[in-house]
Amino acid sequence: MSNPVIKVENLSKKYILKHKNSEPYTALRDVISNKVKTIANSKSQILNPKSEEFWALNDVSFEIKQGDRVGIIGRNGAGKSTLLKILSRIVTPTKGRITIEGRVASLLEVGTGFHQELSGRENIFLNGSILGMNKNEIKKKFDEIVDFSGVEKFLDTPVKRYSSGMYVRLAFSIAAHLEPDILIVDEVLAVGDADFQKKCLGKMKDVSGQGRTVLFVSHNIAAVQNLCDKGIYLKQGKVQMIGNVEAVLSSYLKASSEIQQIDLADRKDRSGNGIIHFVSVEVKNENNIPMKSLQCGKFGKIRINFNRKNNMPLNNVHFAFGINDEYGQRIAQFNNEITNQLFSDLRVDTIDIIINKVPFRQGIYSFVLFATVNNEIADWIQDAGTFEVEAGDFYNTGKLPPDGQGNIFIEHSFQLIQP
């Protein structure tokens, strides 16, 4: 049995969150007054602190062996990115210890590890030097890196002029081709197009096949399942489960479905101009009662609650609710443009998606939620949440199709044609 190449023992990371003064501005008289108040009323600062502790990671321990392909999963804020930053030696832990054997190459936020004023060519040599490679070693890999990245035309352009997609292409190519012992990749791959993501997953498989170790963070369950053989499930900075990737993914998806109302109001990982701001999503039955799940073959309702900027009426509003299976593959989408229900002079803050006969078989499904107003994105949340579908008799025949025969029921019948 091989020795661990990564050993994490009782790892914790604390951040101090500062709370801004709620006053819009501070005059000189306020500064003087506050100084006096601080001296006279130090007790009030204890009761109303301007900062608080936040533990992004809390007593995390695990071991990873050489050649392991490990998927790190969890909801936003679970501590995944913080863990990778510590393993990449970008962030120092508050408590605990990590032991790493070998060279580490990381692909985290877009632009991490690049010098903005240097060209793509110069950054290739810079990153190789950081990994401890000499000039001749980097030259041997140079053509492969450039070919894989597809940025040959811009190789001598300063990377500060690169698009985010070009950044990721070159950064991943450098990280994967300079022969690190451990490759760490965060959700940053989502910036690239679908073809490049597929190419990257293939390369990571090749890297692990050469005996190297891969750590991968992604909300794309299909990508994690396709690449990884082991999983680590984090929740609120703590390890919930470590083991076989299938078992870990199953535990994560089951936990994610145990919510009747999905709160979206404070989600930060969203894009759009804010004219519409999604607040929550609920699953309801025909009696408008909130439900934990939908049932195959039965009536279902998905209620979307949102705010309109300044409560103003809206024209040319387009809502879409994209549904992915447990592996992250898009299988259906509800879309008012497709149904030719074009909303103008919209003055409501709630909309229901009516499903007369739920066509999905038993399982857990994730969804993407977005809205446009006048063809501009108003709000978009990629990993908005999950919902569960219970087994049901779709055809009212008492018969269910066997597992592995697809995720969606299509209402149909057969007709015999006489010769």
Residues 252 and 265 in one domain: no
Residue given tokens 């990982």 in the structure block: 269
Percent of the chain with pLDDT over 70: 84
Query: Mean per-residue pLDDT for 217-238?
Result: 85
243 and 343 belong to one structural domain: no
Instruction: Assess if residue 419 is contained within a domain.
Output: no
Query: Average pLDDT for residues 98-104, to the nearest whole number?
Result: 89
Q: Answer yes or no: are the C-beta atoms of 362 and 252 closer than 8 Å.
A: no
Q: Name the region of 328 (left: φ>0; alpha: ψ -120 to 50; beta: rest).
A: left
Domain harbouring 295, CATH code: 2.70.50.60
Who wins on pLDDT, 51 or 94?
Answer: 94
Report the percentage of the chain scoring pLDDT > 90: 30
Q: Is residue 330 part of a domain?
A: yes
Considering the domain architecture, whether residues 222 and 293 belong to the same structural domain is answered as no
Q: Looking at the domain assignment, is residue 250 inside a domain?
A: yes
295 with 249, same domain: the answer is no
Both 206 and 284 in a single domain? no
Of the listed ranges 68-77, 142-151, 192-201, 287-296, the one predicted with least confidence: 192-201
Query: 87 and 147: one domain?
Result: yes
Most confident of 179-183, 222-226, 336-340: 336-340
Are both 336 and 308 inside the same structural domain? yes
Q: Is residue 42 part of a domain?
A: no
Instruction: Give yes or no: residues 211 and 348 share one domain.
Output: no
Residue 47's pLDDT is 47
What pLDDT band is residue 260 in, cutting at 50, 70 and 90?
A: low
Q: Is pLDDT above 90 for 301?
A: yes
Last residue in a domain, options 233, 256, 279: 256
What's the confidence (pLDDT) of residue 110? 57
**Judgement on whether residues 104 and 232 belong to the same structural domain of the protein:** yes
Tell me, yes or no, whether 116 lies in a domain.
yes
Average per-residue pLDDT in the chain?
82
- Check which CATH number belongs to the domain holding 175 and give it: 3.40.50.300
In a domain, 30, yes or no: no
- State how many domains the chain has: 2
Q: Is residue 61 part of a domain?
A: yes
Judge if 186 and 324 occupy the same domain.
Answer: no
Angle, helix 164-177 to helix 120-130, in steps of 10 degrees? 40
| Structural domain contains residue 27 | no
Among 232, 256, 280, give the residue marking a domain's end. 256
Residue 48 confidence (pLDDT) above 60: no
Check whether residue 200 and residue 269 sit in a common domain.
Answer: no
Q: Which domain holds residue 332?
A: 261-390
Residues 166 and 295 in one domain: no
Q: What is the pLDDT of residue 333?
A: 92
**pLDDT at site 268:** 85
Determine the average pLDDT of the residues in 351-375.
91
